Amino acid sequence: MKMRKNIVAGNWKMNLTPAEGVALINEIATFNPAISGNNQVVFCAPFTHLSEVNKAVASWGNAKVLVGAQNCYYQPSGAYTGEISLDMLMACGVSAVIIGHSERRLYFAESNELLRLKVDAILAKQLMPIFCCGEPLEIRNANTQNEYVAAQLQESIFHLNAAEIIKVVIAYEPIWAIGTGVTASTQQAQDMHAFIRSLLADKYGADVANEITILYGGSCNAANAKELFSQADVDGGLIGGAALKAESFVAIINAMNG
C-alpha cells in the first residue's frame, strides 16, 4: 500500500486571466472533489495570478489544496529583470514550485546546472520543488531514455542528502507526449517511474525511495488518469490542458482514490 503523497498538480502554463483562474478554482470547488488523507492538489498559475488564486484556494478551506508557481529564480534579489524570487512567491501564498519543465528547458535553455541552483533555493525556503525530467522523441526512439533521465537527476538533484531529497516531488514527462495527444502507454509510464525509483533506492536506500512522490506528466487526462494512477510507482500527475477545464480536472483528482 502506498503511504507517500499522491498529488495532482494543474500546470496552467500561459493560459487564463486572473479572473478566469479564480472562476475555474471556484467551479472546481463546487464539484467537491475528494481531497483528503495522502492526497494533495496544487494549482500552478502564472505569476500574475498567484495572489488572487491564493485567496480563492484559501476560501475553499482545504489544507490539502495548495498554490504553486511555474518557475522561479534562485537569487534572493538583485538586478535580474523579469525574474521572480522565492520571497516574492511566498508573499503570494505559494507552497510549491515547478522547475525544469520541458518547455523551460527547450525554449529558454535551462540547464541541469541551473536547476540544481533552483532546487537548492526552493528547499532552503521550505517549499516543495516539483522537479520535471523526461526525454524527447529522438532519445525514446534510440531507446536511451533511461540514461537521459538518469543524467538529469544526477546533475540536478542527486547532490541532495536524504533529508532533502525526500522533500522533492519528481514529475516524469515524456516530451514526445506533451500537448501532442499521444500518451505513453501505462506500461511505459510505470517502467520509467520504476526506473527512477530504482535510481533513488540505489542512491538513498529503499526506504527513502519509497517515500518520494513521482508524478506522470504526459497528456494525462480524465480518460486515462485512473489506469495511470493505479500503477505501483505512479503517484499522481502534472496536468496541462486537462487542468483548464473543471470537469476534466475534477475527474483526474478523483482518480487518486482509485
Give the model confidence (pLDDT) of 188-203 as tens digits: 999 999 999 999 999 9
Q: Degrees (nearest 5) of the Cα angle 177, 182, 186? A: 85
Backbone dihedral angles phi then psi of residue 38, each to the nearest 5 degrees: -85, 5
pLDDT band at 218 (very low <50, low <70, confident <90, very high): confident
Q: What values do phi and psi take at 50, rounded to 5? A: -60, -45
pLDDT at 87 over 70: yes
Beta bridge partners of 67: 43
Cα atoms found within 13 Å of the Cα of residue 126, Cβ hemisphere only: 2
Query: What does the pLDDT read at residue 93?
Result: 98
Catalytic residues: 101, 173
Report the mean per-residue pLDDT for the chain: 95
Whether 96 contacts 44, CB under 8 Å: yes
Q: Quick one: cell of 237? A: 500527475
Q: In the CATH scheme, what is the code of domain 6-255?
A: 3.20.20.70
Model pLDDT for residues 45-74, shown as the tens digit of each residue = 999 999 999 999 999 989 999 999 999 999
Give mean pLDDT, residues 171-178. 89
Plot region of 61 (φ>0 → left; ψ -120 to 50 → alpha; else → beta): left
Could you tell me if 237 and 252 are in contact, meaning their C-beta atoms sit under 8 angstroms apart? yes
What pLDDT does 181 receive? 67
91-119 average pLDDT score: 97
- Model confidence at 182: pLDDT above 80: no
Quote the pLDDT of residue 2.
61
The answer to whether residue 243 scores a pLDDT higher than 70 is yes
- 67 is written with which cell numbers? 498554490
- pLDDT bucket at 257, cuts 50 / 70 / 90: confident
Q: Which of 200, 116, 203, 110 is nearest to 156 (CA)?
A: 116
Cβ atoms of 111 and 125 within 8 Å: the answer is no
pLDDT in tens, 138-161: 999 999 999 999 999 999 999 999
What are the boundaries of each domain within the chain? Answer: 6-255
The average pLDDT across 72-89 equals: 98
- At residue 95, the pLDDT reads 98
Burial label for 77, CB within 10 Å (0-12, 13-18, 19+), is exposed
